[in-house]
Amino acid sequence: MSEFTGEVQANMGLVLDQVCAGLPNGGDHESRRYVAEQLIQAVRAGRTTLGELTSAGRRAVVYLKNAPKSA
């Protein structure tokens, strides 16, 4: 049994796809995983609306775009 409702899961999936579309090739596995983890943290903190999840996802993508690249 999932800890999230079906609606919340659907919103998380939608947001993940939408925000990762802004990454090269839709984001690699590690990038998508990072965004997904940030969305999970947002939901656990009570931020479950589509707008709140979109904001959390966008922040995660901005972080990824600005993070220093490892050698």
CA dihedral 45, 51, 57, 60 (to 10 degrees): -80
In angstroms, the CA 10 to CA 25 distance is: 22
Which pLDDT does position 33 carry in this prediction?
A: 98
Which pLDDT does position 1 carry in this prediction?
A: 47
Which pLDDT does position 3 carry in this prediction?
A: 86
HSE at residue 48, side-chain half, CA atoms within 13 A, is 12
Which pLDDT does position 16 carry in this prediction?
A: 98
* Number of continuous H segments (helices) and E segments (strands) in the chain: 3, 0
What are the structural domain ranges in the chain?
17-66
Cα 48 from chain centroid?
12
Task: Write the single-letter amino acid at 12.
Answer: M
Per-position pLDDT tens, the chain of length 71: 478 999 999 999 999 999 999 999 999 999 999 999 999 999 999 999 999 999 999 999 999 999 887 65
